[in-house]
Structure 1
Amino acid sequence: MKVIRTSTIPLSLNVLLKGQLKFLNGFFEIVGISSEGELLDEVRQREGIKTISINMERGISPVKDLISLFRLYHILKSEKPTIVHSITPKAGLLTMLAGKMAGVPIRIHTFTGLIFPTRKGFVQKILINMDRLLCTAATNIYPEGQGVKKDLMNYKITSKPLKVIANGNVNGIDLDYFSPDKISKTQKDALKKELNITESDFVFVFVGRLVGDKGINEMVKAFSQISKNPALLKPVKLLLIGPLEEELDPLTPETLQEIKNNPDILDVGFQKDVRPYFAVSDALVFPSYREGFPNVVMQAGAMELPSIVSDINGCNEIIIEDQNGIIIPVKNSEKLKTAMEKILSDTDLYHQLKTNSRPMIQSRYEQSVIWNELLKEYKTLLKENNIDV
């Protein structure tokens, strides 16, 4: 029995669903579809599945979207899957429409994050209608977390039942891989030397794309004020891990200048393995404007780091105030600065947050739990549709 999983760009299949496709391939024939690239080849080799490349635009592009839609339709007619399951917005819309046109019996979309709540006016209306069309063509809708579910209901995106798998998140966390024990003291010492981090430094870390809606402008502003404060109790560093995207939602010139000129801001770009960087850090700062269910917050927690996060979907489900982190308002550099200073100055609070971080991830988001719940859901849907497993 064939299941096709789709995403707009191969990075999503490669990172967000790492290991899951191989697990499911033990029960079904799994095929991955996404835009072409080396990462799609990596998915094919690592997960042991067949992959097909169909280029899909992330932005709105009517002509290219129509071409992608009909390519998807022809592939689904040829492959004849029993289930198609999409993540990411554009792949979701195209896959659900093509799946309905091709007569695929079970058409699933997981909303990993919503764009429209942060948009206004005409653009918001377009995005809402696109998601409504997606849901009309789908047979089953799964929000990644309770916050996403609430937004789908509040904006009346669909009247279909909405179900969150397990405690949320599309893939859970590999606690064996994301473990402080996996990074040796020798590795940490070498990386600290390379980055010029001393034993007395308190290191804040951010992992993600360096764009405006990740809250980078506010974070750099807050950190700059802290690092230049002569009354600072201990030296600080800000470690930035992720690609700088200058086309969509670029950072302000002031932010870019500060990143370049502040010696306490360490911009190391994209890193395939973020664990060593977590291992030399003390706390995650993640002031994003919108998320579905951010993996980086779970990864940091598994690596025993407390987090400062914005009060948005996913973040405010993973982090519980003053238990494993601090929650701040969105787009508020002053509140972010206060939270960073609190973690720096209140040693007892910091150690309490750090002690709780890994156990609170382990108890709710262990990867095997998510995978088995998804497998169980597939089998339930097949049974409900009178399809023999």
Structure 2
Amino acid sequence: MKKRICIVSTTGSVVNAFMLRHIEYLKNEYDVTVVLGDDIPLKVDVKVKKIKIIRKIDLMQDIKSLYKLLKYFKKKKFDLVLSIMPKSGLLSMISAMLVGINIRLHFFTGQVWATKKGFFKTLLKYMDKVIVKCSTNILVDSNSQKEFLESEKVLDSRGSILNKGSISGVNTNYFKPNINLKNELRKKYNIVDSEIVFMYLGRINIDKGVIELADTFLSLFNKFSKVKLVLMGPLEDLTIKEKIKELLINENVIYDFSYINNPQEILNLADILVLPSHREGFGTIVIEAAALKVPTIGSNIYGLSDSIVDKQTGVLHKVNDIEDMVKQYSNIILNKNLINQMGENAYKRVQKDFLDETLSLALLNYIREKIDK
């Protein structure tokens, strides 16, 4: 009889984004079930159990979720529980410990509390400490994040990294350069060949550094004429639109605040990706862009300092520092040859270190070592 694994996630969207290849590999050797906190359908053939889990702190709902997880784990007697995301990690690691599941594995992919202050930061940080306390094993998706968690006394010596980092690597069958699509997209958005296209692709919120990005490009547009900014992704904070309204009316800005479900296509429009985040676990979008030979300018923070090799596969700037951002972006504009050089380097690094099948094999081997003892 196959040993039984349960993967727990607050939302199916995260499983679809990062866990599909992992699930396919694990299914070949184990009986795999996925517990989801919402109704988003999965893009993989696997058993699914719905147990409502919400991202925000809601004591009554969280107690209900914990109780249902306890009952389900007790009934199914899994050999290993693997959790991703903070809330699903907290509730599933507590539940799995209480019912005596031997292998309890949580995957850290970033910390919401890293940029918070006061009581809320203390509470969220304590929740991560509880996750670690209730787990038997911990994975972290970047070495710099692991060092950060250790320095904050959240993580002990049990933390491990798969290969060179990232939660799932890049599927280069989907993320690959397409010159014909690039030309079509440039034509669609009326971008001429001589213009440099900077692209932000991801959730639009304060922690992603969008406010500083707006101020940076308002300055750049006054200095340079052949520069475009493409801003794409769901608007998570409606107040941001008002704060960056001057940017949005600029003729050199293209924006779309809907959910982008084809990043592997739209990234072909970019010459260089921008990611001025205040916090990132690793920055998967960086290596996805790299697979298309698109380098990244990003903040010098834990996570991005793993996904970007400064001056080789991209450029790191001081976090939340508009002056340094303008300086680094200007240097790229004045030295366009750097874009191609760094793009080629980034592409080679993905092929060497971040292919999704190598990450899935690494996770499979990691779980084999734990579960088959």
Shift of 1:259: 4.3
2:119 partner SS: helix
Question: 1:220 aligned to 2:217?
Answer: no
Asked if the contact 2:53/2:65 (under 8 Å) is kept, the reply is yes
Asked if the contact 2:271/2:294 (under 8 Å) is kept, the reply is yes
Question: 1:106 aligned to 2:97?
Answer: no
Asked if the contact 2:25/2:364 (under 8 Å) is kept, the reply is no
Query: Which of 165, 170, 176 in structure 2 is aligned with 1:168?
Result: 165
Query: How far apart, CA to CA, are the structure 1 residues paired with 2:32 and 2:372?
Result: 19
Asked if the contact 2:218/2:247 (under 8 Å) is kept, the reply is no
The correspondence of residues 251-262 of structure 1 with structure 2, limited to 5 A, is 251=240, 253-255=242-244, 257-262=245-250
Query: Which of 361, 364, 368 in structure 1 is aligned with 2:350?
Result: 361
Question: 1:35 aligned to 2:37?
Answer: yes
Question: 1:56 aligned to 2:57?
Answer: no
Query: How far apart, CA to CA, are the structure 2 residues paired with 1:19 and 1:326?
Result: 30
Query: How far apart, CA to CA, are the structure 2 residues paired with 1:270 and 1:201?
Result: 26
Structure 2: stretches of 5+ with no match in the other structure: none
The correspondence of residues 31-180 of structure 1 with structure 2, limited to 5 A, is 31-37=33-39, 39=40, 41=41, 43=42, 46-180=43-177
Asked if the contact 2:10/2:87 (under 8 Å) is kept, the reply is yes
Task: Work out the percentage of aligned pairs sharing the same amino acid.
Answer: 28
Shift of 1:160: 4.8
2:160 partner SS: coil
The correspondence of residues 303-314 of structure 1 with structure 2, limited to 5 A, is 303-314=292-303
* Matched AA of 2:311: D
User: Where does residue 387 of structure 1 map in the other structure?
Assistant: none
Asked if the contact 1:6/1:13 (under 8 Å) is kept, the reply is no
Show CA shifts across 1:152-198 (max 9, x none).
Answer: 21111143521111111111111222110xx351x333322322222
Structure 1: stretches of 5+ with no match in the other structure: 385-389
Show CA shifts across 1:39-67 (max 9, x none).
Answer: 3x2x1xx3110112222221221111111
User: Where does residue 6 of structure 1 map in the other structure?
Assistant: 8
User: Where does residue 235 of structure 1 map in the other structure?
Assistant: 226
Query: How far apart, CA to CA, are the structure 2 residues paired with 1:259 and 1:91?
Result: 37
Query: How far apart, CA to CA, are the structure 1 residues paired with 2:8 and 2:196?
Result: 41
Asked if the contact 1:259/1:267 (under 8 Å) is kept, the reply is no
The correspondence of residues 333-344 of structure 1 with structure 2, limited to 5 A, is 333-344=322-333
User: Where does residue 276 of structure 2 map in the other structure?
Assistant: 287
Shift of 1:292: 0.7
Question: 1:325 aligned to 2:314?
Answer: yes
Shift of 1:301: 0.7
User: Where does residue 189 of structure 2 map in the other structure?
Assistant: 195
Query: How far apart, CA to CA, are the structure 2 residues paired with 1:302 and 1:53?
Result: 34
Query: How far apart, CA to CA, are the structure 1 residues paired with 2:136 and 2:324?
Result: 42
Deviates more, 1:127-136 or 1:300-309: 127-136
Shift of 1:252: 6.3
Query: How far apart, CA to CA, are the structure 2 residues paired with 1:132 and 1:155?
Result: 10
Asked if the contact 2:272/2:296 (under 8 Å) is kept, the reply is yes
Asked if the contact 1:140/1:160 (under 8 Å) is kept, the reply is no
Asked if the contact 1:141/1:162 (under 8 Å) is kept, the reply is yes
Query: Which of 335, 340, 363 in structure 2 is aligned with 1:351?
Result: 340
Over aligned residue pairs, what C-alpha RMSD do you find?
Answer: 1.6
TM-score between the two structures when normalised by the length of structure 1: 0.91
User: Where does residue 266 of structure 1 map in the other structure?
Assistant: 254
Query: How far apart, CA to CA, are the structure 1 residues paired with 2:76 and 2:275?
Result: 41
2:159 partner SS: coil
Asked if the contact 1:214/1:286 (under 8 Å) is kept, the reply is yes
Runs of 4+ in 1 over 4 A off after TM superposition: none
Asked if the contact 1:141/1:160 (under 8 Å) is kept, the reply is no
Asked if the contact 2:290/2:350 (under 8 Å) is kept, the reply is yes
User: Where does residue 245 of structure 1 map in the other structure?
Assistant: 236
1:251 partner SS: helix
1:20 partner SS: helix
Query: How far apart, CA to CA, are the structure 1 residues paired with 2:58 and 2:301?
Result: 29
* Matched AA of 1:272: N
